[in-house]
Amino acid sequence: MNSIKSAEAVFFDLDDTLYDSLLPFQNALEYYQVGLPRSKAEEFYKKVRHYSDVLWKEHVKGEISLEELRIQRLIRSFLDYQIIITNDQAIAIQERYEQEQQQIKPFESVFSLLKQLIETKTLVGIITNGPVDHQMNKLKALKIDKLIPIQHIFISDGIGMAKPDSRVFEHVRMKIKIDPVKCLYIGDTWENDIVPPIEVGWKCIWFNHRNRQPQTKHVPNEIIMNEKEFLLFDEKQGRY
């Protein structure tokens, strides 16, 4: 984890990076018994995340509402499995998903890493897409709002721009006043969390615990395939 050790500022994505966002989603699907086999849950979740990213670009342009995005990402994903759901069913699943998110817990190793970084005086923050209240509620459920000051939490709707726009990372860097080569970002999706920070000179770690494939020729500094690979910093040994 040399990339972390050499960084003065380490920022994390939120969804599916600090916690397992598949679990509350899976619980919501099972609650409504929509006909999708449990064995397909992770594959289905990847599709939902894909459509969410595609539709987010339309949402940022004001072409669709956030509610419509949430409906359409589910309808399109189910259609890929020849399952047709109504708008009302999509809304019900989304509402149940949000209820399940109130019970989320952080990945243990990542949470420990956050605390270790803070103890070593590294600047630690969050960069995430989404509505401010919605994302802050997740951070509160994870108790991460107790660790990271609000001025180091950057949420797309609060700053007026969203990943994968690389200006997000430039905006953050200007706020914290740290050289980009000393800034590190850790996230799980290629388009949002790997490409844009690299484009503006940041280092990055791809937390690829869903075993996705790279989409471009960009090269992350490190790839982590399992949350247990986030090793704790050992001050005596001076390494991760």
pLDDT at 77: 96
With respect to CATH, is domain 22-101 assigned 1.25.40?
no
Burial (CB < 10 A; 0-12, 13-18, 19+), residue 200, is middle
Helix (H) or strand (E) holding 224: strand 222-224
Cα(159)–Cα(21) distance, integer angstroms: 24
pLDDT at 5: 79
Nearest to 168 by CA among 193, 151, 190: 193
CATH 3.40.50.1000 segments of the chain:
2-20+105-229
pLDDT at 231: 66
Pure H helices in the chain: 2-5, 22-32, 41-60, 66-79, 87-101, 108-119, 132-141, 156-159, 167-176, 190-193, 195-199
162-191 residue pLDDT tens:
999 999 999 999 999 999 999 999 999 999
Task: State the SS3 of 23-80.
Answer: HHHHHHHHHHCCCCCHHHHHHHHHHHHHHHHHHHHHHHCCCCCHHHHHHHHHHHHHHC
CA atoms within 13 A on the CB side of 168: 28
Cα(37)–Cα(189) distance, integer angstroms: 24
195-234 residue pLDDT tens:
999 999 999 999 999 999 999 999 999 999 999 898 644 4
CB 205 within 8 A of CB 3: yes
Q: Along the 240 residues of the chain, how does pLDDT read in single tens digits? A: 678 878 999 999 999 999 999 999 999 988 887 778 878 889 999 999 999 989 988 998 899 999 999 999 999 999 999 999 999 999 999 999 999 999 999 999 999 999 999 999 999 999 999 999 999 999 999 999 999 999 999 999 999 999 999 999 999 999 999 999 999 999 999 999 999 999 999 999 999 999 999 999 999 999 999 998 986 444 433 444
With respect to CATH, is domain 2-20+105-229 assigned 3.20.20.70?
no
The sheet that has 123-128: what strands, in order across it?
Answer: 153-155, 123-128, 9-12, 183-187, 203-207, 222-224
pLDDT at 209: 95
CATH 1.10.150 segments of the chain:
22-101
Q: Is the pTM of this model over 0.85?
A: yes
